[in-house]
Amino acid sequence: MTTAGRLRRALRGVGPPLLVGVGGLVAWELTVTLGRVAPFLLPAPSAIGTELVDNRAVIWQVGLASGANALVGLVAGAVLAILAAMVASRFDFLGEVAVPVAAALNALPIIALAPILNNMFESTSSIPRRSVVAIVVFFPVFLNTLRGLREIDPVHRELMTSYAATGWTFTRLVRLPGALPFVFTGLRQASSLAVIAAVVAEYFGGRQDGLGSRITSAASYTAYPRAWAFVVGACVLGLVFYLAALGLERLTMPWRARRSG
């Protein structure tokens, strides 16, 4: 494809959502300024933008802290989930028991564990927030990976039997690569959840050096545009995580990206 053609296609993909986004912002600004909406109800985008620029150093710094929490929790939770799914898929009984149990645990508001975890550790510890993230991340990754590991093309199974390939060889050559698309579906869901959990966990005490604490403190000082500026920061962080997961997926599975060729 030519560079011009690629550019045109990218524009066609990005253009419409960009247009809707900008249009929305303009409508928002007009509604707030012309409709005289109280700033504690809804600050104007321009006010939020000013706060964003003024506080960019702080937002960057607390964003990094929250990002680190989300990343550590995400990696820990995902690794545990993938290992657990591999174990569960090896034993039919475990796999059958694990799915309903995981689904039931997943229905718990895991964020509600934050105050309990906070009390377990010192107030300067980052472990509680990261644990909350890891637990939140665990379920989508575990359930998706397990499904992927169990769903094996019967033709692949027969072929590997005909090659006399069993055990770890079979897992390495068929199960794991076959499960990758499912793992990444789980990771994509988990990446956004990780940021939400890392931010929200701070609402319940513990160490206060991330985005969550800034949102609550700005709100309690009735500095609503500033609170919104931090919310925007959290939003961007979530987007970065999601895009990183998407990029990793593309890199790891080139056979999917090149399908159209």
Partner 1 sequence: MTTTEHEPAVEITGVTKVFNPGRPDRVTALTGVDLTVRRGEFVSLIGPSGCGKSTLLRLVADLIPVSEGTVRVAGKPARTARLDREYGIAFQQAGLFEWRTVQRNVELPLELRGTGRRERRVRAREMLELVGLADFAGHYPAQLSGGMQQRVAIARALAVHPPLLLMDEPFGALDEMTRERLQDELLRVCARTGTSTIFVTHSIPEAVYLSDRVVVMSARPGRITAEIDIELAQRNETTRQTAEFFAGITRVRQALRGGPAAQRPDEAGPVGEAEPADPAVSR
CB of 175 to partner 1, least distance (A): 12
Residues in the chain: 261
Nearer to partner 1, 75 or 173 (CB): 173
CB of 75 to partner 1, least distance (A): 23
Quote the CA–CA distance of 224 and 237 in Å, as a whole number. 20
Quote the CA–CA distance of 5 and 15 in Å, as a whole number. 15
Nearer to partner 1, 127 or 187 (CB): 187
CB of 129 to partner 1, least distance (A): 36
Residue 253 phi, psi (nearest 5): -120, 70
Binding positions for partner 1, rule: CB under 8 A: 153, 155-156, 158-159, 161-165, 169, 173-174, 177-178, 180, 253-256, 258-259, 261
CB of 14 to partner 1, least distance (A): 26
CB of 261 to partner 1, least distance (A): 5
Task: Look up residue 94 and give its amino acid.
Answer: L
Nearer to partner 1, 17 or 154 (CB): 154
Quote the CA–CA distance of 234 and 70 in Å, as a whole number. 11
Nearer to partner 1, 44 or 187 (CB): 187
Quote the CA–CA distance of 102 and 257 in Å, as a whole number. 32
Q: Do residues 137 and 77 touch, judged by C-beta distance below 8 A?
A: yes
Nearer to partner 1, 176 or 244 (CB): 176
